[in-house]
Chain A
């Protein structure tokens, strides 16, 4: 089970934002983060805990180990308003967290 917190986050442009994702057991760093804006498909941000996907702005970074993982947005931009999901790919079935909605 993947648990994300908080469920909703209200922030301002320029803020440093930290989103959390907790796994029920160790996932050996096999964690990805996605961004989903209303009416759009998700977009891969981070894989392997901390590797940025192609074309992702440097303000997005990932960290963590074991069962605790974090997505950080170093300086929030208005276009970062979205729902963010974590996903483990260490074991079947592949599972997502419930999401964190970032409101600006």
Chain B
């Protein structure tokens, strides 16, 4: 079965960096686009970024453009989200999610990793 496992979350000061990972298994990873979606504490869902199956195309929500970089290693079935110049409003649970067949919804989700940006 599809499994997505995020890691790398933690507490970080404003302006610092953090890198999240998402390990995928149970499907042919290299044929799917993938996403990050986040959820601030007690709030709704916010799409963050998408990466194409081959890593060549990426789109980001405006609030993270220029600060976050989404990448993937298809040989390791792993996604990465490099988050630089973090701000307090980046505090959230970050989920990796697999793209649906009809693009671009989310048919499988990881359990999430919490990022807290605070001094």
- Residue tally, chain B, CB below 8 Å to A: 23
- Contact of B109 (CB < 8 Å), options: A43, A87, A89, A92: A43
> Once the chains are docked, how many angstroms separate the CA of A44 from the CA of B106?
7
The residues in A between 45 and 91 inclusive whose CB is less than 8 angstroms from any CB of B are 47-48, 53, 85, 87, 89
**Residues 76-111 of chain B, each 1 if its beta carbon lies under 8 Å from chain A, else 0:** 000000000000000000010000101111111111
The residues in B between 18 and 46 inclusive whose CB is less than 8 angstroms from any CB of A are 35, 37, 44-46
Q: Which residues of B contact A53 (CB under 8 A)?
A: 107
B105 touches A32 (CB 8 A): yes
A44 touches B107 (CB 8 A): yes
**Residues 29-46 of chain A, each 1 if its beta carbon lies under 8 Å from chain B, else 0:** 010101010001111100
Q: Which residues of B contact A97 (CB under 8 A)?
A: 44
Minimum CB–CB distance from A63 to chain B (whole Å) comes to: 17
B100 touches A47 (CB 8 A): yes
User: How many pairs of A and B residues are in contact by the CB < 8 Å rule?
Assistant: 58
Q: Which residues of B contact A89 (CB under 8 A)?
A: 103-105
Assuming the contacts A47-B100, A93-B62, asked whether A32 and B44 have C-beta atoms less than 8 A apart, the reply is no
Query: Which A residues contact B (CB, under 8 angstroms)?
Result: 30, 32, 34, 36, 40-44, 47-48, 53, 85, 87, 89, 92-99
24 contacts between A and B (CB under 8 A): A30-B102, A30-B105, A32-B105, A32-B106, A34-B106, A41-B110, A44-B100, A44-B105, A44-B106, A47-B107, A53-B107, A85-B44, A85-B45, A87-B45, A87-B105, A92-B59, A93-B47, A94-B35, A94-B50, A94-B104, A96-B46, A98-B44, A99-B44, A99-B45
Query: Which B residues contact A (CB, under 8 angstroms)?
Result: 35, 37, 44-47, 50, 59, 61-62, 95, 100, 102-112
